[in-house]
Every structure is written in structure tokens, then in C-alpha cells.
Amino acid sequence: MLHYKQANLQLEELDDVEIGKKLRFMRKRKGWSQEKMGEKMHLSRSNISRMESGLLPVRHREFLKWANNTNSQDVVLSIMFNIDVAQAMEILTQVASALTGVMTIFLGGIA
């Protein structure tokens, strides 16, 4: 069981290289080049490369913006709860499915 106190983005527990690997994973999964990511983040391609290599520290705000730009909420969830990305994706899928069911019942009751 996951507890509330575990639910925070714990980038401090990861070294800069590990954070960089997660950034690169998110960007590549989205299919973007470093140039495209730089445009979205308003950073140079060089800084994107340095962040992904662990040479430039990443702040929480930048990490969350990166995750939002690449639709990688599963990666954020995996860090928050210290679980595998696949497990995080399954949780997000189940939540989305449950919400769809609730909305169908709610909207069906209105008609």
C-alpha cells in the first residue's frame, strides 16, 4: 500500500545521470530530437544534451515541464512511488478507465 508521505517527486534521491536517463527516455519515446525538445523547453540544444548527460542539474520545475511536454506522467508517477514505469502506466490506465466509467454513468443518468 502506498502512503501519502511517499507521494512526492524525489529527484534528490536520483543522481544527475539517472535523471538525465529519464529525460532522454521521455524525449525519445515522444519521438523528438534534442532541437525540438529545446524549442518546447525554451532551452538550447546544448543545454538539453547537458541535462540528458547529467552535466547540468535539473530542477523540479524543469523536470515536470519536460514530463508535461512529453506526456510522460507515468515517469513522474514511477519516481513519486518508486515503482517501475510499466507499473505506473498500468495505474494511470486503470484510473482513466475508472473515470471513463464514472462519467458514462453520470452522463447516462442525465439524459
| 10-residue mean pLDDT series, the chain (111 residues) | 46 86 96 98 98 94 94 88 86 84 68 51
Rounded to whole angstroms, the Cα distance separating 35 from 106 reads: 44
Q: What is the pLDDT of residue 11?
A: 73
* Closest of 73, 59, 60 to residue 30, by C-alpha: 73
Say whether pTM exceeds 0.85: no
**Which segments of 45-84 does DSSP mark as H helices, in order?**
45-53, 60-69, 73-80
**CATH class as words, domain 8-110:** mainly alpha
- pLDDT given for residue 7 in this prediction: 44
- CA distance to 6, 32, 39, 40, 102, per residue, from 71 (Å): 22, 12, 16, 12, 23
**Residue 38 and residue 57: Cα distance in Å, rounded?**
16
